[in-house]
Amino acid sequence: MARATNISRRAILVGLREIETGDILPVGRVRRPGGGRKSGVEHQPDLPERLEGLVEPLTRGDPESPLRWTCKSTRRLSLELAKLGCSASSRLVGALLHGMGYSLQGNRKTVEGKQHPDRNAQFEYINARVTQDMRAAQPVISVDTKKKELVGNYANRGKQWLQKGEAQAVNGHDFPDPSVPRAHPYGIYELTRNKGFVHVGTDHDTATFAVASIRAWWRAEGRRAYPKARHLLITADAGGSNGSRLRLWKWELQRLSDELRLPIAVCHFPPGTSKWNKVEHRLFSFISSNWRGEPLADYATVVNLISKTTTTTGLKVSCRLDRRRYPIGRKVSDREWGTINLLRDEFHGDWNYTIRPRR
């Protein structure tokens, strides 16, 4: 049998003995219970406790932890355990951590800083104003500036379907350089019609540019969509080029109100809550998804990718390029400020106000 099967005589004798005595291994096992190399935990019963003693201070942010300022990899933890006289491979460390309920986790963007006491009340106020104007068929828009983008052969986040090995080659770096052109997409999202309008600037994101974007939307689409408009309602963030404290923002809105002969009402979201602005997750998110993995080689590419953005819920987007100059540092004098026809709401007049035409 040994010559026919090329199995050792000893293994055959052991098998014969098991058959004769009826001492056969259970199905699925190759060793008797208790056979094989013992786990490191059995030789070192205090290993899980020592490992948790290393990891637990890290979760509490203890500056005295030996691993507080180093990479907390399983390999590093294995080396630290060796310094304590414990032997554990990086794989065993990983298995023990999973068994104790630990897992690899990233940061969660949930901390919004100090919340204003009227935060929720402002949300309810905005919701009531928006609902009322939408039912009355009045124009309601959500505005904001999207993150500025480098224009050129630079990497863009995301992936797209291509033949294997056909990935587009882009520059190996994207260090900020004043000579590199940038695109400043200012978005206007219409809540009623589920339509987006993006005004892409090539100079600076100023309050003058923000109001010029709203003016461009009104001329291109707003006045035809709302021929019977009695006023315009804008929801915006509390900071940036349309900030609630920015004098130039209100001054430019006054000029627009005079031009359109329409009152312009503004409701700002509380500080630190810009992600609740509709334009963020109903327009900008889909634009980012549409151009993922596509280098923004030139302004024409930016405009085409934005204007081709659609969704299954019917979102349509139009886009215009604005090459005009918008110098920074423009100040509104006290005399100019005094001519603004500003009417503040009873509830948080710093966030909610209306600018009426001066004639």
* pLDDT, tens digit, 9 for 90 and up, residues 244-268: 999 999 999 999 999 999 999 999 9
With beta carbons less than 8 A apart as the criterion, state whether 163 and 187 touch: no
What pTM was estimated for this model as a whole? 0.74
* pLDDT, tens digit, 9 for 90 and up, residues 196-250: 999 999 999 999 999 999 999 999 999 999 999 999 999 999 999 999 999 999 9
Give 63's pLDDT tier (boundaries 50, 70, 90).
low
Among 35-44, 97-106, 300-309, name the most confident range: 300-309
Percent composition of the chain: helix, strand, coil (DSSP 3-state, to 5):
40, 15, 50
With beta carbons less than 8 A apart as the criterion, state whether 356 and 272 touch: no
Assign residue 246 a region (left: φ > 0; alpha: ψ between -120 and 50; beta: otherwise): beta
Alpha helices for the chain (secondary structure H) = 2-5, 9-21, 40-43, 47-60, 74-83, 90-99, 119-135, 207-217, 223-225, 247-260, 278-279, 285-290, 299-307, 334-338
Report the mean per-residue pLDDT for the chain.
87
Residue ranges per domain, the chain? Answer: 40-99, 119-156+180-355
CATH number of 119-156+180-355: 3.30.420.10
